[in-house]
Chain A
Amino acid sequence: MITLTINGKKHQLDVAPEMPLLWALRDVLNMTGTKYGCGMSLCGACTVHLDGEPTRSCTLPVSAAKNKSVTTIEGLSEQGDHPVQQAWQDLNVPQCGYCQSGQMMSAAALLAKNASPSDGDIDSAMQGNICRCGTYPRIREAIHQAAKKQSAS
């Protein structure tokens, strides 16, 4: 049994310790907001926060998440009103939407550290997240907007 703290709640899991957190979330806990895109830390679709750090859950063994706090897209806010989630909705950032949980988790982690990132900061924080639909211009814009909103509140 492995105990994980996910979005502030404790969960007991009976899984192989090397199972990646992504599949524990999706297949065992039925939390499907976190997506699979590559399984090799190449695309960022599976990004969650591990003690606040953006982390690719597809290559993180569940055992490595023990005693740490995991935040997934479902836990980013109660109502979907985190500044990043708001900006994503205001600007209609998504196309298919599949990559966007990971994009928002990376963006939220960036803004937690850097309250007003430059385009360059955004590019380097977000370059691990692929969007095949090509929403990058809006992602940049939305991060700037979320930054403004965050600093205003």
Chain B
Amino acid sequence: MNYFEQINQTDAEYLQEQLKQRNDLFNVSRRSFLRNLGIGTGSLVLGLQLPAVSAVPMKWADKPAADNVFSPSVYLKIAKDNTVTVIVHRSEMGQGIRTSLPMIVADELEVDWNNIAVEQALGDSKYGSQNTDGSRSVRRFFTPLREAAASARTMLTQAAAKKWKVAVNECVAKNSFIVHSNSNRKLSFGELVDDAMDLEVPKKESLSFKSPEQFNFINQDKQVALVDGKDIAMGNTSFGIDIQREGMKVAVIARPPVIASKVKSFDATEAKKVKGVVDIVQLDNMTEPPFFKPLGGIAVIADNTWAATEARKKLKITWDWSEHREHSSKKQKQALKESSKTASNVLRNKGDTTAALGNTKQRIHAEYYTPALIHAPMEPPMATAEFKDGIMHVWACTQTPQSSQRTVSQMTGIEPDKVKIYVTLLGGGFGRKSKPDFLVEAAILAKKQGYPVKVIWTREDEVQHGYYHAESYQQLTAAIDDQKVTAWQHHVAEPPIGSTFNAKAKHITSEANLGLIDMPYNIPNVRCASGEADAHHRIGWLRSVTNVNHIFAAGSFVDELAHHLNKDPKDFLLEMIGDDRHIDLSEQAEYGNYGEDIKQYPIDTARLKGVIRKAAENSGWDNKRKDNHFMGISAHRSFASYVATVVEVSKTKDNKVKLENIWMVSDSGTVVNLERVRSQMEGAAIFGISIVKYGEITSENGMVEQSNFHNYRVARITDVPNIHVDVLINNEPPGGVGEPGVPPIAPAICNAIFAATGKRFRELPLYQQNIFAS
């Protein structure tokens, strides 16, 4: 997820201001305009002014990041053959964005879906933010794309009316035609392109939009075939790993096993003997903070991947270890436990929690630990670079083509406008591919070697040299008086993402927005705080980020409280949330709200309770349970969407559990592609199962101990129960979809296990606990 945009309120406000000012359309296909630019005409091209955001906030950077740049445009092209080309500027990584963004345009503009074509945008700040993370492609571009489409529709309609010499309001757009029903005439969009090109773009205020009952796709239960579905079925797709260039060589890199260590010496004699090896190249050492810099090491360049990986095994490298050699997960856990005890950095404060906890008769305390995680997208990072005629071309499975462009430029000394980033399909991203270190490696090698180079990351490379989701120690304490929770204290210690950009960062910052300070229960005394934590790896963001650990702890703890009070966990959740209201945290915390305006996207308790009630209804929570079947529940708002989950387990005679059913209910407001929202919820549930059962990165002597899917396991088909997804639809502004399904899964599973067995698991993962029946 990108953080960078939401991290600090000032950035977010600045952004919104810019968005308001700059979000105007202009007709770049006006003949004069095009003539001036020397561009041929022939299609109606609409530009959109959208904000771009620098990849790293100044605040986090040792040295200033690139400036915020604001310039046009997401383009829509309408050609004379009726094709409406939507230039998708966000990366496709399985969320369906190459299908969903065009659906917004097709709906508002009234395009026959068969006339839609999709073009992938290059990395370019003129498109506005291309950082495909933070679950916000639809959230941020729903309105701008509708405006672009409505403008185009208005212009085509005006062009037709002019031609027919009738009033504009007698003409309507329908299925790629403008129709004049009074006279039964119609003209296709393509036939109107020439005339529309000479018109002024209408003022934004003058635009009219479709009303919800006129939508063809938006908020409709209509499955659209994925734009890449057929190519995927035939193996015709082009992912990062699939790029081939004339004269290209393949490189794999032996990176320092302990971060920031240096190559002391190396012997490549044996490696060079492997048939197909072309060259062995030492890369510059990485100095901290890591940013998106390559890690250094020794690159083996060969004719093919096999030769490169075989030769790499034969390298003999002596490392000059960095201080991180001292790091071990066991020591780290102890240190985090200590620092979360006092947690001096207060992030949310309401009432007097210390006094309330001191005075209470019933004080409940629980400690939770979640390990580091790695993304493990099925396609590891992959990049191919070619330096030709002064231009650096890079093809890669990147979530962030613009920060890739900037970082490649900075690290190779090539001007940004001479760096072209081509976004391939991504074989999964989950946040890993937001970090362009792998593109830089390819660019450096291509520039140095003079031929195209594809850098392959093996699975081992991906698991051992990632940007990790940080381990987290959490201490929760509550006071109960007269059957009511009167105080809630949530202390965390976890290495911050900020440490990747600033070596001195020891406290979480924006991570607190994710499931910590946004705790929605109506409790008079609240304290959320962080303790210091040292990072010994690059820390990054992974699907739903710190919501994963914060909600595992908070969602388990609230269930613990329900059991202490002998209350039904679902009823207790509703009771704790309390009245329908918009939660106002302004007096208690600096809340980022995922970069959104809190008025437009409030923390709405009615919607949170709505998904809980619906999940209870769908699962039959209040009915008599089947014999030996037990349920757990959890709910959370993240990325401006609400998700509740009920998990049902069955219990075997030997007190083990089997996952039987997962019910997911989401409310992310207006939905563009309902079928893809469902698929994201299914995927999120399974991502959550991986976290609960298997996900664990540990280190010893500063080195990651896991290496591939045998010891970094992820969910397989046999781990997956029936998943029932229910997406609530309404006309609220669209919320995020890719991530919000993940957080409630872990607590709901653990709450169900507790209901079944009486065993409370406060540490993940569970695979060593012998709790799941095989």
Give residues in A with beta carbon < 8 Å to B: 15-16, 19-20, 23, 26-28, 30, 32-40, 42-43, 45, 72-74, 76, 80, 85-86, 88-89, 92, 94-101, 104, 122-124, 126-127, 129-140
In the complex, are the beta carbons of B241 and A138 less than 8 A apart? no
* Contact present for B235 and A101 (CB under 8 Å): yes
* Cross-interface CB contact of B95 among A45, A95, A137, cutoff 8 Å: A95
CB-contacts of B364-418 with A (<8 A): 376-379
Sort A-B residue pairs by CB-CB distance and give the 6 closest, nearest first: A33-B235, A98-B427, A134-B686, A96-B94, A95-B94, A73-B235
What are 30 of the A-B contact pairs (CB < 8 Å)?
A16-B307, A23-B305, A35-B378, A43-B378, A45-B378, A73-B234, A74-B236, A80-B234, A88-B232, A94-B233, A95-B94, A95-B95, A95-B679, A96-B427, A96-B428, A100-B232, A101-B232, A123-B717, A127-B717, A130-B709, A130-B716, A132-B377, A132-B428, A132-B714, A133-B428, A134-B715, A134-B720, A136-B715, A136-B717, A138-B682
- A42 lies within 8 A of B250 (CB): no
Task: Evaluate contact between B682 and A37: CB separation under 8 angstroms.
Answer: no
- Do A39 and B378 touch (CB < 8 A)? no
Complexed CA–CA distance, A125 and B297 (Å): 40
Given the contacts A89-B230, A130-B709, A137 and B720 also touching, CB distance less than 8 Å: yes
- Closest-by-CB residue of B relative to A90 is B225
Q: Does B730 contact A (CB under 8 A)?
A: no
- Shortest A105–chain B CB gap in Å is 9
- Decide: A74 and B304 in contact? CB cutoff 8 A: no
> Is the CB–CB distance between B233 and A80 below 8 Å?
yes
Q: Which of A27, A126, A134 contacts B305 (CB 8 A)?
A: A27
Q: Is the pair B378, A99 in contact by a Cβ cutoff of 8 Å?
A: yes
Interface residues, chain B, CB within 8 Å of chain A? 92-96, 223, 225-226, 228-230, 232-239, 241-242, 244, 250, 275-276, 303-307, 309, 376-379, 425-430, 456, 458-459, 675-676, 679-680, 682-687, 708-710, 714-718, 720, 722-723
Q: Is the CB of B717 within 8 A of A39?
A: no
* B708 x A97 contact (CB < 8 A): no
Chain B residues with CB under 8 A of A95? 94-96, 428, 679-680, 683
| Residue with the highest number of chain A CB atoms closer than 10 Å, among B233, B250, B276, B682 | B233
Cross-chain contact of B723 among A38, A45, A129, A137 (Cβ < 8 A): A137
Evaluate contact between B718 and A27: CB separation under 8 angstroms: no
Q: Are A20 and B306 in contact (CB under 8 A)?
A: yes
- Residues of A close to B720: CB separation below 8 A: 134, 136-137
Q: Contact check, B230 vs A80: say whether CB atoms are below 8 A apart.
A: yes
Shortest CB-to-CB span from A104 to chain B, Å, is 7
Are A138 and B679 within 8 A (Cβ)? Answer: yes
Chain A residues with Cβ below 8 Å from B234 are 33, 73-74, 76, 80, 85
Q: A23-B306, A27-B304, A97-B228 are in contact. Are A104 and B710 (CB under 8 A)?
A: no
The answer to whether A37 touches B306, judged by C-beta atoms less than 8 angstroms apart, is no
Most chain A CB within 10 A, of B305, B306, B376, B709, is at B306
Q: Which of the residues A23, A34, A122 comes within 8 Å of B717, measured between beta carbons?
A: A122
Q: Report the separation of the CA atoms of residues A105 and B309 in the bound assembly, to the nearest whole angstrom.
A: 26
Contact B709 A42 (CB under 8 A): yes
Contact (Cβ within 8 A) B426 A96: yes
B304 to chain A, nearest CB (A): 4
- On whether the beta carbons of B229 and A135 are closer than 8 Å, the reply is no
Which residues of chain B are within 8 angstroms of A85 by Cβ–Cβ distance? 233-234
Least CB distance, A17 to chain B, in whole angstroms: 11
Minimum distance in angstroms from A5 CB to a CB of chain B: 18
Q: Are A19 and B425 also in contact (CB < 8 A) when A97-B94, A130-B714 are?
A: no
Instruction: List the B side residues contacting A129 at CB < 8 Å.
Output: 716-717
Question: Residues of A contacting B242 with CB < 8 Å?
Answer: 32
**Cβ 8 A contact of A37, one of B275, B276, B459, B710:** B459
Looking at A37, A43, A85, A99, which has the most chain B CB atoms within 10 Å of its CB?
A: A37
Residues of A contacting B709 in the complex (Cβ-Cβ under 8 angstroms) = 37-38, 40, 42-43, 130
- Among A19, A27, A76, the one with the most B-chain Cβ atoms within 10 Å of its Cβ is A27
Per the bound structure, the CA–CA distance linking A103 and B238 in Å amounts to 17
**Chain A residue nearest to B376 in the complex (CB):** A132
Q: Contact at B428–A134, with CB atoms within 8 Å?
A: no
Please determine whether B225 and A89 come into contact, CB atoms closer than 8 angstroms.
Answer: yes
Q: Which residues on the B side are within 8 Å of A28 (C-beta)?
A: 304
- Enumerate chain A residues within 8 angstroms of B238, measured Cβ to Cβ: 32
Contact B235 A98 (CB under 8 A): no
Q: How far is the CA of A9 from the CA of B206 in the complex (A)?
A: 62
Report how far A80 CA is from B225 CA in the complex, Å: 15
Please name all residues of chain B whose beta carbon is closer than 8 Å to the beta carbon of A124 when the two chains form the complex: 718
Residues of chain A lying within 8 A (CB to CB) of residue B428: 95-96, 98, 132-133
Cα A131 to Cα B93 in complex, Å, equals 13
* Residue from B241, B685, B687 with most neighbouring chain A CB atoms (10 Å): B241
Which listed residue, B223, B241, B306, B684, touches A19 by the CB 8 Å rule?
B306
B250 contact set on A, CB distance < 8 A: 27
Inter-chain CA distance A6–B276, complex, in Å, is 24
Chain A nearest CB, measured from B455 CB (Å): 13
A32 proximity list for chain B (CB < 8 A): 235, 238, 241-242, 244
State the CA gap A94–B93 with chains docked (Å): 11
* Docked CA distance A26–B379 (Å): 14
Other 4 A-B pairs with CB < 8 A, given A35-B379, A100-B233, A132-B376: A27-B250, A36-B241, A37-B379, A122-B717
Chain B residue with Cβ nearest A45: B378
In the complex, A14→B617 CA distance in Å?
A: 63
Please report the C-alpha to C-alpha distance between residue A96 and residue B738 in the assembled complex, in whole angstroms: 12
Among A76, A85, A126, chain B packs the most CB atoms within 10 A around the CB of A85
Q: Is A135 a contact of B378 with CB atoms below 8 Å?
A: no
A80 to chain B minimum Cβ distance, whole angstroms, is: 4
